[in-house]
Every structure is written in C-alpha cells, then in structure tokens.
Structure 1
Amino acid sequence: MQTIEIFENKRAANYNSFVEAWIPNYHYFMDNLPRLLKDTEHKNLLVVGCGTGAEIERFINTSQPWKITGVDPSPEMISQANQKFKNIENVQLIEGTINAVSSKDMFGAATLLLVLHFIETYESKLDLLKNIAKKLDANAPFIVLDITGSKQQIKENLKILKNLLPDNLDETDINNRLYRIENKLHAVSEDQLKKLIVEAGFETPTRFFQNSIYMGWITHKK
C-alpha cells in the first residue's frame, strides 16, 4: 500500500512559511492561478492536496463565482483550512484522499501542487492522476506544480536554489532540507512527468513556469 505523506503539528503549522521561503516566485505563481483558469467554462474547482488552502484563497478573492472543493489527508491541514474558510459558503473541504470525493461530483478544473514528489512509485503517481482525470469534465484544465528533473538536474539546480534562499534561514536546516530533497523525495524527470500525465488521460502538458527545481505545467483532459 502506498504511504501517504501526512503533515501534522509543527510541520503543518510551518508549511506555508516553508514553501514561501523555498520556492522562488511562489507568490507570483499562486497569484496567477485564477488568471490561468479564468476561461474555464464550469467554475467548479478541485484542489487536490489543498493543505491550509493557499490556492483556495486566490480563487475566492476573484470576481468570478468559483465553487471550490479542497481535499487533503492531513487532519491538521484541513483543520487550519476550515478555520480560514468557515464563513465561505462556496468552499467545501474534505479530509482524506481524492477517493473521499463523492463519485457524483465533477469538476471544470483541478490543481495538484507539490504533491507528486511525496508519492513513491510511478504506479501510485499514475493512479492519483487517473483518479483526478475521472473527476474532470472533458477538456477541463489541470495545473501541476512539482519538483521535476533527473537526478543530475535536481542536484545542479539545488546549488542554484541554495543561493536564492532568504538570508535568515538556518544553515543546518538548509543543508538538511537540501539533503532530503535530493535523497528522500520521489521526483521524476520532465519526460516521465509528461508520460504520466498523458497516460492518465490528459493532453501533453505545457511547462509555463520554472524556478530552480520547481516546474509548473498546464494540460487539459482529453
């Protein structure tokens, strides 16, 4: 059985500050998500691995009438998101995997940000992507952000990333995280990612964002 990465306690509480520090231009990427999906016909968004709701915040603050479903296996993450959106009627939050989403619900768009590199095997990544595809309308857009690259690419890009990190980070913490990214996570190459996405039932994705090891892709369900 595939192990699910669960963020709890201090790790959950610190997740937002971590990604903001470690992903250059993170806010630029996030702030432009609604613009990338503004032409979506059905404004019904599925956010897989929603965490504390960083993507959701961007969509509820637009003038477009988005209805949003966020799903995450971490109870602490969902708890924080529930506090954030408790008075927002068009946001539904589900604790669990995508299999916890009702089989009757279909979506006009989906996002999967910073999730795939926690999933160990190719087959488990493919299974998740296929389950997302099943929940989407035909031609629905799908955005992916993840650590991407061959082992050598990631190793070289981590040297660049280290120079882009904020000055106030602890050197020991930096080195520990760099080691974890290179040796403990399960990133795939660009070719493998494209293959996974196409095999799951999507069009060949277009890379529209890259900063060091992080790449953003957009595709559509076939």
Structure 2
Amino acid sequence: MSSFSDPAEVASYAERVARHVPGLRDLHRMVGLLLAECVPADGRILVVGAGGGLELKALAEMQQGWRFDGVDPSPQMLALARSTLGELAARVTFHEGYIDDAPEGLFDGATCLLTLHFLPRDERIRTLKEIHRRLKPGGRLVTVHHSFPNDDLGKDKWLGRNAALVSTGGIDPISVAGNIKIMKEKLPVLSPDQDVAVLENAGFGDVELFYAAFTFKGWVSERC
C-alpha cells in the first residue's frame, strides 16, 4: 500500500483506478442506488477506504441530503479526496486511520470499495464486524474488491484475464505483468465463496452479488 503515499502515484490515482476497475462510474452509481433503497434522504453514510474521494463524490452528487464520514489511513489520499470533492467536501467528515478510528455511528449505510482485498481473512472479519457494529439495524453495506479462486490454477487464469483487459487500455504490458505478480504473491485475496462466508461471519445477511467484472466482485448485504 506504499503507492498510497507516493506523490506521483497519488496524483495519478483516479486515472489508474478507472483503467483497472471495469465500469467504475457505473459501479459508483449502482452503489448509490443500492444504498438509496433503504437509506433515508437525510441519511448518514460511513465510507471505509475513502481516500481519493471518487465514490464520495458520486454518492454526494446523487443524494444531496446525505452526509458522510470517510476513513482512510493515508493523509495524502484524504487530501486528494478533499480536492476531488471540492465544495461537496463540506458534507464529509474525514478521519485519518482505520475502522477503529471511525465514529461509533449509528450509520444508515456503509461502503467499503477496493479495500478489503488488502486485509487477511481474520482482519477482514474484524473490520466487517466493526462496520456492522456501527450500522443501524437493517443498515446496508456495499463491498467491492478483488475476489477470485485462490488455488494456483484459478489465480493464473483470472489474473491473466485481468492483465489482458488492462493491457487493452494502453498500459505497458511489462508494468501490467509486474502488478499481476505482486497481486498473486502479496494480496490476501479470497474466493467469492469465502468472501460471502466472511460477510456472514461478521453478522451480515441477505448477501447478494451485484457486480462481477473479471477479478472484481461486489456484494450488497444488510446488518442482521
């Protein structure tokens, strides 16, 4: 996660993530629609992994009455989020740190996008339990992250497909290959079945897959 403190990497974050995550803008709109199904017009949303501010901006533009608490461990990425949001930042309270640094709540909904794949299984469960504890009963959580079979054959197949897709976007194949190698060796990616089990272990129910794009998966679930 050192790239989240490197000035050049931070400056290019929005462009890079748009190239790597298929349909990113539509994904953010889907997240907003899923939250709006049960979050009131004056709702309060917890955004875990808020650095960059892309989902915050999309959600704030979709729902003018929502207020947000955004948590991220990188001060550089939080600064980027403030810049990305512009005047919309007035509706966001930022917290530098991890889930333990988030307010106690209670929140109407929460998001955790492109974040959980950095966490080992036990830490994921703990993080999700802390999100669960901060949600109102029936509060909705939307998560999106890398999730694919974690046996060697499955990893090679899906990471290869991911590399092929990213390469079509004009990114240097050598750079893509290096990123894939890092993902395979260092990211504690879980399989989709394991991800669902982790959500249920943390206390969430009605877990539904709403987004699948090669190595990325997204689930919507509710606090039981």
| TM-score normalised per structure 1 | 0.90
Q: Which residue of 2 aligns with 1:115?
A: 115
Which AA in structure 1 matches 2:148? G
Structure 2 gap ranges (5+): none
Q: Which residue of 2 aligns with 1:127?
A: 126
Q: Which residue of 2 aligns with 1:84?
A: 84
For 1:159 and 1:86, the matched residues in 2 are separated by: 38
1:30 and 2:32 aligned: no
Q: Per the alignment, in what secondary structure is the counterpart of residue 168 of structure 1?
A: coil
Q: Which residue of 2 aligns with 1:171?
A: 173
Q: Which residue of 1 aligns with 2:98?
A: 97
Q: How many residues align?
A: 217
For 1:93 and 1:159, the matched residues in 2 are separated by: 37
Residue deviations 1:149-201 (CA, integer Å, cap 9, x gap) = 22233321222222222342112111101111222111101121111111111
Q: CA deviation at 1:13?
A: 2.2
> Counterparts of 1:202-217 in structure 2 under 5 Å?
202-217=204-219
Could you say which structure has the higher strand fraction? Answer: 2
Could you say which structure has the higher helix fraction? Answer: 2
Q: Which residue of 1 aligns with 2:4?
A: 7
Structure 1 runs, 4 residues or longer, greater than 6 Å off: none
Residue deviations 1:10-56 (CA, integer Å, cap 9, x gap) = 22222222211112222221122211111223411100001111111
In the alignment, is the contact (CA less than 8 A) between 1:33 and 1:58 conserved in 2? no
Q: Which residue of 2 aligns with 1:18?
A: 16
Q: Which residue of 2 aligns with 1:139?
A: 138
Q: CA deviation at 1:57?
A: 0.5
In the alignment, is the contact (CA less than 8 A) between 2:28 and 2:59 conserved in 1? no
State the superposition RMSD in angstroms: 1.8
Q: CA deviation at 1:86?
A: 5.4
For 2:3 and 2:204, the matched residues in 1 are separated by: 27
In the alignment, is the contact (CA less than 8 A) between 2:148 and 2:158 conserved in 1? no
Structure 1 gap ranges (5+): none
Q: Per the alignment, in what secondary structure is the counterpart of residue 51 of structure 1?
A: coil
Stretch of structure 1 that moved more, 80-89 or 165-174: 80-89
In the alignment, is the contact (CA less than 8 A) between 2:48 and 2:72 conserved in 1? yes
Change (3 A) 1:219 1:77: same
Q: CA deviation at 1:64?
A: 4.2
| TM-score normalised per structure 2 | 0.90
In the alignment, is the contact (CA less than 8 A) between 1:34 and 1:62 conserved in 2? yes
Residue deviations 1:85-133 (CA, integer Å, cap 9, x gap) = 3533321111111211233x210000011111111x3211111111110
Q: CA deviation at 1:6?
A: 7.0
- Percent of aligned positions that are identical: 25
In the alignment, is the contact (CA less than 8 A) between 1:149 and 1:190 conserved in 2? yes
Q: Which residue of 1 aligns with 2:154?
A: 153
For 1:202 and 1:172, the matched residues in 2 are separated by: 40
